[in-house]
Structure 1
Amino acid sequence: MQSSMTSELTSLTVLVFLTLTCSGEPQLIGPTQPMVATRGDDITLPCHLAPATDLSDFTLEWARPDLDPRFVLVRRSGQELEGKQHQSFEGRTSLFTDELKNGNVSLKLSNVKIPDGGTYRCFIPELQKDALVQLVVGAVSSPDIIIAGLDGSSRGVMLDCKSAGWYPEPEVLWLDAEGNLLSAGPTESVRGPDDLYTVSSRVTVEKRHSNSFTCRVQQNNINQTREVHIHLPDEFFVSPCSSAALIAGLSLGQRQTTSSSSSANQSSATGHITVEVDQWGRYIRLMNTSKQEEQLRGCRLKLQVNNTETFMYTFKETNTIKAGKKITMWSSGSGSNDPHIGHLVWTEVKPWRPEDQLQLSLITQTGEIKLL
């Protein structure tokens, strides 16, 4: 019985081959351009026989010549031979079996990985026909912008842009609101053990009409671009925070985070300035524990909530913290009256929740100082 089936299949193969030969030389056709995929995607590597022919009973091979073993998928006698497959492709490859009757031997590759990039060979041994498919695999991620500090000489604002998880290595561009390229420092690029690149770039921007800036990270080989935008109010470009004693106290003090049993607030002691953040989002309080008045003129307070929202407050020339006193930043809609000396309302900030993750920092002419 088996011998009879084998004989029938052989006869069918010879018949199809002769038919194709008589009607014109068959061609196995792949894409003329490289296929591009992003890490984690599913992709189809096209390959089909023309004229269309039923290939259900043919031996079909997909291979990567640079691998050992080289086979990505092998189908013989209507079954896939998993034992011949390279282990890196286990469970991730398949053919469109319903389309084999139409000569379609395209390969579906799932959950694409960076090492999947390379040249694939689609091959039909009985016809001695093959086609090559080039696969380019990339990885992308969204960039972030942080305010790195102020340039005291130009009164400009220093912006840092960073993006991790790219492949191949991308380039970083800075643009103004009109799309003009800005002059920035050299891009720093680090390749990690996973072969992914982390890139960062810094630019100093000066006050202009819109004060809107864009960091663009792009990789032309995989046709991928990611952007992040930032708008800086005019107040950012005033004279920088100049209280040397305050800056030193914040920079050099030992930082710690505690929880108060009475109010369950977060506190951070930084030198002679103590920062208290109400867990219910009503206020942020700066307390001066020194014996001298501290000037806040030109300083900027930055609050990040859950790494998704960023709020900036620029202190006015009249804002000070007297020795042993406090200044409180009330969130908008908190409905509270500050019993302490010094109170301000941060109108852009709404009350947050105890489970929210907060980051608080002070921006001075020397850079950004983490408070919480």
Structure 2
Amino acid sequence: MKPPVLQAEGLRVRFPGKGRRPGVTAVDDVSLHIGRGETLGLVGESGSGKSTSGRAVLRLVPLEAGRILVDGEDVTRYRGARLRRLRRQMQMVFQDPYSSLDPSAPVGASIAEPLRVHEKMTKQARRDRVEELLDLVGLRPSHADRYPYEFSGGQRQRVAIARALALHPRLIVCDEAVSALDVSTQNQVINLLEDLRERFELSYLFIAHDLAVVRHIAHRVAVMYLGRVVESGPVERVYERPAHPYTQALLSAIPVPDPKRRGAKRILLSGDLPDPSAPPPGCPFHTRCAYAMDVCKREMPAMTPIAGGGEAACHLQTTGPTLTGRPLSETEVPA
């Protein structure tokens, strides 16, 4: 049996404070795994640690703890030339393609940059590869000579995807890759990503705040809150039978296009995300949770296996109603 393309275990990222400002633990004990040809959706509120987790996976921010395995090989301690070789296998598509492309250079030069850095190719061979990549993402070869400002947002994101594909990677981290696009363009880019995944057996870590988009593209989903994964599992199980109160609240906020179904109760969370530099004791979600018990204020819940696949970190699964792997809908909100 082949190992997962990505296996991240116990990742911890801490940013030191400046002056009197305390440091912030942005990612705490996060574990993720992604199989070949699989898409893992990573969701949560702004400030939950999604993007930092994606950057940690690619070694773009330093790890305080944890390890990262790529195809079963521990690459956490790679430095210099070995880390540079690893970059070929793991690429990123950022949220804003205009910021990630050089505005003073034709897009063909931006796409060719990883080829210049990592491959020994002639200028004509690079040009041929750039034109091939543009065709792969639905653009014309002549577009290589245009500048980023001459493209629409969706076209620029296609250019960014082409650049990510240049070195035949196994894993691509998509950090809010479609959130800045209008709905119709989102659908086109998502369909493109799906086609490329099937064609090249790519693996995606798809970071997003739009849960409707994640349901369409992902095979599994992990939900983050205040730097921790609070629930994970197959998309259908998590969306239809959430086991964590935070997941349930997020799903209730998805807009419903059918007017006949808009009567579903919206779960409103009280307060804001706690200060990550001073997280609450016990379960980090207890300050906003309608189900919170005394144990939630004292002890951090462990991950519990959930019926239908995945796991959730919630005391409701082991204390109080004792759901023992059943969905949250099988208990009532305490009075």
TM-score normalised to the size of structure 2?
0.24
- Return the structure number with greater strand share: 1
Based on CA coordinates, which of the two structures has the bigger radius of gyration? 1
Higher relative contact order (CA 8 A, sep 6+): 2
- Return the structure number with greater helix share: 2
